[in-house]
Amino acid sequence: MSVWNPDNIRDVAESVGILNLNNDVTENLARDVEYRVAQVLEEALKCMRHCKRTVLTTQDIALALRNLDVEPLYGYDSTRPLKFGEASLGPGQPLFYVEDEEVDFEKLINAPLPKVPREVSFTAHWLAVEGVQPSIPQNPTAADSRNLELISKGPNANSTLAAISGTGDVAVKPLVKHVLSRELQLYFEKVCSAFLNETSEDYRTSGYSSLREDPGLHQLVPYFVQFIAEKVTHSLKNVFVLTQVMHMAEALVQNKSLYVDPYIASLVPSILTCLIGRQLGGPADLAESFALRDMAASLLSLIAKKYSHSSHMLKPRLVRSCLKTFLDPSKPFGAHYGAVIGLQSVGGSEVIRVLVIPNLHEYTKLLGDGLDDAARRPAAERVLGALVAVLGSLRSSQPFLTNGHTVTDDLRSRLVDKVGDIIASRIVEAGEVQLAHIILES
């Protein structure tokens, strides 16, 4: 026996032209309708509970029909609560209906027109072009960036700075939460401690090998880059730490499983600091500091060769930074040494020919003053050796055949006018006749 009235089934059947429907068929259809209605109501109640409501709405019924792959009912979707009225057709025959809202036409006519809605449109803009943020209205301005630098950080931060920057009592929550697994966190801690372990060389070697060869470290790349930047910033007096973080950067770049292209712009400043930094280590760490600069130069050469295709301005920026340091007489000879080998590593012999040789005659005066000073002489000797070495690289790029085997007085005077007396004397003493002609032809 079905709760659903079989007479309703007969009425629907007669409305579609089916007369004299069998009683068994009517009963079976009534039970099926009862089952389907109960199924829709159960799905609608689920939607209601998920919305944390206690009143069932027409939207819940429409969602239930959509979940059951049934065409929803049209004309009953309303966000406002419906009011049902009751009318009587006779004794025991109530009729329920949805009461219509009464509208005052005078208020409706005299009400001001609503604002014209904006047309739906979309636009696109460049957040950054080759690492440079274009100055357009959609991007933050320089003033906004300066305000962000004034944000107070930490529990004991200065509240005055936060008030100046206009960010006091403002909690900035990232849109996407970066979650690292416990295994990756443990790996990051172990690798960082391995690189900075001064007691065990095997431990450092295993950490370097793991970081250079292991796959699946993509999520840790920004954390390693940040770790390198922090250690370089706070350990400029510790050559050992600087050397180890350069090994870490080298392992990241050499790992074939990692996509490091987006992080090169953040990694290069740390390497440049170790290359052309003013003071690396203490006065007793002269040899170690120059070895660190050599390592940074080779790492920059690797980065320039590997990532210049993805960033066309990478090489020019590196060359510009090194050249600016080389032409600054206020910088120490250690920074000049790093600038010279950096120019050769990034740009090759062409950069030496175009940018270094025209400035050697003026630079020789500064170099002579350094060689005459006992305290600055060791570093000046390093710079002189680096200049002669990078000039020697011109032999492979510009083969030159000469019939002479000795340096004449005319050749020596021309060479002095070109590169200065100190470098010219070093080339003449080495008997580099071919190199002298190549320099004069440059």
| 90 domain residue, yes or no | no
Is the pLDDT at 299 greater than 90? The verdict is yes
Separation CA 194–CA 251 (nearest Å): 13
Alpha-carbon distance of 308 to 306, in angstroms, equals: 6
Query: What's the mean per-residue pLDDT of the chain?
Result: 81
What pLDDT is recorded for position 1? 61
pLDDT for the residue 165: 47
Give domain status of residue 185, yes or no: no
Rounded CA gap, 263 and 273, in Å? 17
Q: Which residue has the higher pLDDT, 335 or 401?
A: 335
**Exposure string over 140-151, b if 16+ CB within 10 A, otherwise e:** eeeeeeeeeeeb
Tokens representing residue 382 in the block: 């390093």
Residue 38 lies in a domain: yes
Domain CATH for 16? 1.10.20.10
Comparing 169 with 138, the larger pLDDT belongs to: 138
Is a pLDDT exceeding 60 seen at residue 168? no
Residue 146 domain-assigned? Answer: no
pLDDT at 215: 86
pLDDT recorded at residue 164: 44
300, 271 Cβ separation under 8 angstroms:
yes
* Higher pLDDT, residue 312 or 317: 317
Please tell me the least confidently modeled range out of 33-42, 73-82, 298-307, 360-369: 73-82
What pLDDT was estimated at residue 243? 92
Q: What pLDDT does 100 receive?
A: 78
Higher pLDDT, 403 or 274: 274
Q: For residue 2, give the 3-state DSSP assignment.
A: coil
Give the C-alpha separation, 144 to 225, whole Å: 25
* pLDDT at 428 (0 to 100): 75
* pLDDT greater than 50 at residue 403: no
Query: Is the pLDDT score of 88 beyond 90?
Result: no
Measure the CA–CA gap between 384 and 386, rounded to whole angstroms: 5
Question: In which band, very low, low, confident or very high, does the pLDDT at 227 lie, cut at 50, 70 and 90?
Answer: very high
Mean pLDDT of 66-92: 74
CA distance 227 to 247: 13
Whether pLDDT at 152 is above 60: no
Residue 69, pLDDT above cutoff 90: no
List the alpha helices (DSSP H) in 136-263: 142-149, 159-165, 182-195, 201-213, 221-234, 239-254
Backbone angles phi, psi at 310, to 5 degrees: -90, -20
Asked if pLDDT for residue 384 goes beyond 70, the answer is yes
Give mean pLDDT, residues 227-234.
Answer: 91
pLDDT reported for residue 22: 86
Is residue 27 a part of any domain in this protein? yes
Answer whether residue 414 shows pLDDT above 70: yes
- pLDDT at 136 > cutoff 50: yes
- Residue range 191-212, pLDDT digits in tens: 999 898 888 888 889 989 999 9
Does residue 414 fall inside a structural domain?
no
Domain count, the chain: 1
Cα angle for residues 236, 238, 241 (degrees, 5° grid): 100
What was the pLDDT predicted at 161?
45
Average pLDDT over residues 410-431: 76
By residue range, what is the domain housing residue 39? 1-76
Q: Per the domain annotation, does 68 fall within a domain?
A: yes
Element (H, E) at 266: helix 264-276
Mean pLDDT of 248-255: 92
Task: Please check whether residue 153 lies inside any domain of the structure.
Answer: no
User: Can you give the pTM of this predicted structure?
Assistant: 0.59
What is the C-alpha separation between 412 and 430, in angstroms, rounded?
13
Measure the CA–CA gap between 46 and 422, rounded to whole angstroms: 89
Strand pairing category for 84-88 and 94-98 = antiparallel
Instruction: Give the best-scoring range by mean pLDDT among 14-18, 113-117, 180-184, 334-338.
Output: 334-338
